Structure 1
């Protein structure tokens, strides 16, 4: 069958020469296609800054890397928080990494304006297109803190459909036969209708392994029915991405925030079509409808993320919903740290309340040197 794996299509639609993240468009905020927590309010970044300072050794320079910096909203809020809450003489260093030159340019503009208003010589910042470029500039960023806000959901995935009657069989042969890989057909339509996905019985090895390790147990446990076809997003890019971070930057702590949950949250009986979706002008649209003009995304399987992080030597805290995580930071702040102003209470509710960002988003924190409890 002609066509390319869905992951190739998604990578090109998001990161190709005319991809969604690579061209000069409004992606975030009211004039864009969606909000992240960083655009809702700077209190989000300030709270993360306060938590990082709680974990950082006292008296040492603080180095922070943000991977996937977007338009710089989170960067400014983080640096404002770090400058406000840290000791007066503490040196603060921030590095932004993003493969999009548009994002790096916008982040530089935001940080230049911040520096002009801040007059705090302790704060230093820089931007880079890759982790390797950062370390070529300054090797001492190895072992820094690392934040990634809504990065994982934008990494290309494979699409598979799984024959639930077959996947529960423990034999590798039966499990592989239960999985069919999604392919984007080559003959793109010219009448304006969306592209289509066809499925082949020759899935990539990682898709089959993921289905056997993460989907099959859900069928055997009764979480999924033992018949029918279930569509699943396989995050094939996570392993290489997280391994590269661990091997290259070796962060002392990673804070990864995204929508999703444990495997059982993401792959559920009431979601037989999976979680793949597109966003345009704050509306859900067909993710195949207009490649390059639509944000393509899916829910993050943090059970898989945890497995990979533990494989590369990190200790992962129990997953926390964003609302509980942020409120926990506030509850631990001392009386002299004015974290949330009265005018920001409304925005804080959007960040923490159930039914919205508060329980839609998950916080995954991984430590390099912390012993498992």
Structure 2
């Protein structure tokens, strides 16, 4: 038997040679394992295109980088939206980034098919890359572009931690180092060889990853102090240790003028609570919830995004972060500023729009985080 930190297991299960996102399998839509808003309706990309056009600098091409372009669904609806909604003199430059060569090939195929008929002249330029470094090497003029990431953060590997709240001697104590050293344990995945196959289990051990301990100290302990988490019992949660290096790499390399990050989750108090003692870690297979340890490489592994932590990181990098919004109010806010909604929403698309914006579904399940390099002028 051997054991590895959960973050190593998740990284290999998603991005290893035979990882979930790296192989030629259907992941999205009815024949896949889950839907994103981009697969629900092209309205999603169209409304985002309109939002970006409102903030585009006058007289300049609109440059956009999409992190995690997947199968190209959002790329197509964004670019067709730009073409339909912008002035005919407006030029659009798009770069799709995905570490999966399969995703890159699918995005290329989708864009070639969609834009050949729809686009004339040289209004739209696009390219695809496997990293921001490759993009900068190929075309450094994308530095300072807009950036969008739809369901990217939830796919970054996390650490799995277990906190024994009962071992905290005083929930109002100020010695957080005592809290971390006595109560936090790291999740490790154990591989057991059973019969003809493999089974995986989770165990917890002392000395968690340094960044995971820092997350626990900064985000879990205050919840205990405030009374949001009860003092008794064992609580499991996800420590998103790769958010900071991921966002720092984007800022250092691309310096986006505006970032729009959309994902399921909420603020820290939404993601970590007594009502979720086992955290939010889960797997998806054929639109069904399964164990994240089940059949590595064949299952999507995900968890809810702590947007309080995301905002803290971005603000520490000098970005102005707008108040967080749920996807429903955000999209409806774009629609409310339209003189004629029929320019964006076709008559037969209102049922899909409801799915994107209504409470109880994607409308309040997803959060929109908008961050600007320069504070917008009022």
| TM score, norm. by length of structure 1 | 0.97
C-alpha displacement at 1:187, in angstroms?
Answer: 3.4
What secondary structure sits across from 1:196 in the alignment? Answer: strand
2:174 counterpart residue number: 170
CA distance in 1, matches of 2:363, 2:330: 9
CA distance in 2, matches of 1:35, 1:176: 40
Matched, 1:60 2:60: yes
> Do the aligned partners of 1:165 and 1:228 also contact (CA within 8 Å) in 2?
yes
> Do the aligned partners of 1:67 and 1:96 also contact (CA within 8 Å) in 2?
yes
2:148 counterpart residue number: 147
> Do the aligned partners of 1:67 and 1:151 also contact (CA within 8 Å) in 2?
yes
CA distance in 2, matches of 1:60, 1:190: 63
C-alpha displacement at 1:115, in angstroms?
Answer: 1.8
> Do the aligned partners of 1:315 and 1:372 also contact (CA within 8 Å) in 2?
no
CA distance in 2, matches of 1:183, 1:66: 33
Matched, 1:25 2:30: no
> Do the aligned partners of 1:189 and 1:195 also contact (CA within 8 Å) in 2?
no
> Do the aligned partners of 1:194 and 1:286 also contact (CA within 8 Å) in 2?
no
C-alpha displacement at 1:117, in angstroms?
Answer: 1.2
User: Which residue, out of 228, 231, 235, partners 1:226?
Assistant: 231
2:206 counterpart residue number: 201
CA distance in 1, matches of 2:199, 2:5: 17
What secondary structure sits across from 1:187 in the alignment? Answer: strand
> Do the aligned partners of 1:49 and 1:79 also contact (CA within 8 Å) in 2?
yes
C-alpha displacement at 1:336, in angstroms?
Answer: 7.6
1:250 counterpart residue number: 255
- 1:193-237 Cα offsets, whole Å, 9 max, x none, are 741011001111111111111011111111111110100100001
> Do the aligned partners of 1:166 and 1:175 also contact (CA within 8 Å) in 2?
no
> Do the aligned partners of 2:192 and 2:199 also contact (CA within 8 Å) in 1?
no
Which one is further off, 85-94 or 101-110?
A: 85-94
> Do the aligned partners of 2:191 and 2:201 also contact (CA within 8 Å) in 1?
no
> Do the aligned partners of 1:158 and 1:236 also contact (CA within 8 Å) in 2?
yes
Matched, 1:345 2:345: no
> Do the aligned partners of 2:284 and 2:301 also contact (CA within 8 Å) in 1?
yes
1:106 counterpart residue number: 106
CA distance in 1, matches of 2:297, 2:140: 35
- 1:251-306 Cα offsets, whole Å, 9 max, x none, are 00000000000000000111101000000000001110100000000000000000
Which one is further off, 28-37 or 162-171?
A: 162-171
1:80 counterpart residue number: 80
CA distance in 2, matches of 1:284, 1:22: 21
1:283 counterpart residue number: 288
C-alpha displacement at 1:170, in angstroms?
Answer: 2.7
Which one is further off, 65-74 or 337-346?
A: 337-346
Q: How many residues align?
A: 373
What secondary structure sits across from 1:271 in the alignment? Answer: coil
C-alpha displacement at 1:36, in angstroms?
Answer: 0.2
Matched, 1:159 2:150: no
What secondary structure sits across from 1:94 in the alignment? Answer: strand
> Do the aligned partners of 2:191 and 2:198 also contact (CA within 8 Å) in 1?
no
CA distance in 1, matches of 2:193, 2:161: 21
What is the CA RMSD across the aligned residues, in angstroms?
Answer: 1.5
> Do the aligned partners of 2:284 and 2:299 also contact (CA within 8 Å) in 1?
yes
